[in-house]
Structures are given as C-alpha cells and as structure tokens.
Amino acid sequence: SAVISQKPSRDICQRGTSLTIQCQVDSQVTMMFWYRQQPGQSLTLIATANQGSEATYESGFVIDKFPISRPNLTFSTLTVSNMSPEDSSIYLCSVGTGGSGTDTQYFGPGTRLTVL
C-alpha cells in the first residue's frame, strides 16, 4: 500500500484563524479524500480531492470553509478556515487504489486539531 504522510500531526489554533493541512503520498494515486473524525465519533467524508479540478464536497461541507487543492497525483491540501471550537477534530486524508468499484482506501496518520 502507499505510504501517506500528513503535516502537521497536531496543532492548537485560535478561533478565527485558518490552518492548512498537507497530505503527501509516495506514489501517484487516482483518488484522494479528506475525512473528519470528531471526538468520540466515526469518520465523515468532507470531500473528494480531484486533480486538476475543483473538489467534490459532501452535504454539509462547503468550499469556503474547507478549500482543497490537488495540484498533482501525489499531493493535496485541506484548509480549515475561520476556525471555531467546533472544528476541533482529527482530519484524515486517504488515498484510493485499484480500479473503480473495488477501490480500497488507505489512511494517513491524521492531523489532530484543537481550536481554542
């Protein structure tokens, strides 16, 4: 499976500020995704990061709050904008491998964000 790294691994931020999280993969992958895991909860998909085009957001998530970039097949960023304490979560990127319909996703180590 691909080796996935995320930066930063954790951060503590003040409300109203923004944080950009980086996801780097050691090989080219077709699909990259961003998830949120709130304290004690399961994973919720934020968006699919599309290479060369705008990300596809899930219901409840908007580009102004979570802008995403995907400049190439090995790298993506997620920005959490105008943060509030409710944004305190673990943010995870994942990559999809294999063909359509049988894609398996592997997760990066996550970024633990605390907003004060």
Partner 1 sequence: QKEVEQNSGPLSVPEGAIASLNCTYSDRGSQSFFWYRQYSGKSPELIMSIYSNGDKEDGRFTAQLNKASQYVSLLIRDSQPSDSATYLCAVTPPGGYNKLIFGAGTRLAVHP
Least Å distance between CB 12 and partner 1? 16
Of 92, 78, 77, 96, the closest CA to residue 28 belongs to 96
Taking CB under 8 A as the criterion, the residue among 15, 27, 103, 114 binding partner 1 is 103
Tokens of 85: 């304490």
Taking CB under 8 A as the criterion, the residue among 25, 33, 78, 113 binding partner 1 is 33
12-31 residues in contact with partner 1 (CB under 8 A) are 31
Taking CB under 8 A as the criterion, the residue among 70, 77, 96, 113 binding partner 1 is 96
Tokens of 31: 């699909």
Least Å distance between CB 81 and partner 1? 23
Least Å distance between CB 40 and partner 1? 9
The answer to whether 57 contacts partner 1 (rule: CB under 8 A) is no
The answer to whether 106 contacts partner 1 (rule: CB under 8 A) is yes
Annotate 14-76 with three-state secondary structure. CCCCCEEEEEEECCCCCEEEEEEECCCCCEEEEEEECCCCCCEECCCCCCCCCCEEEEECCEE
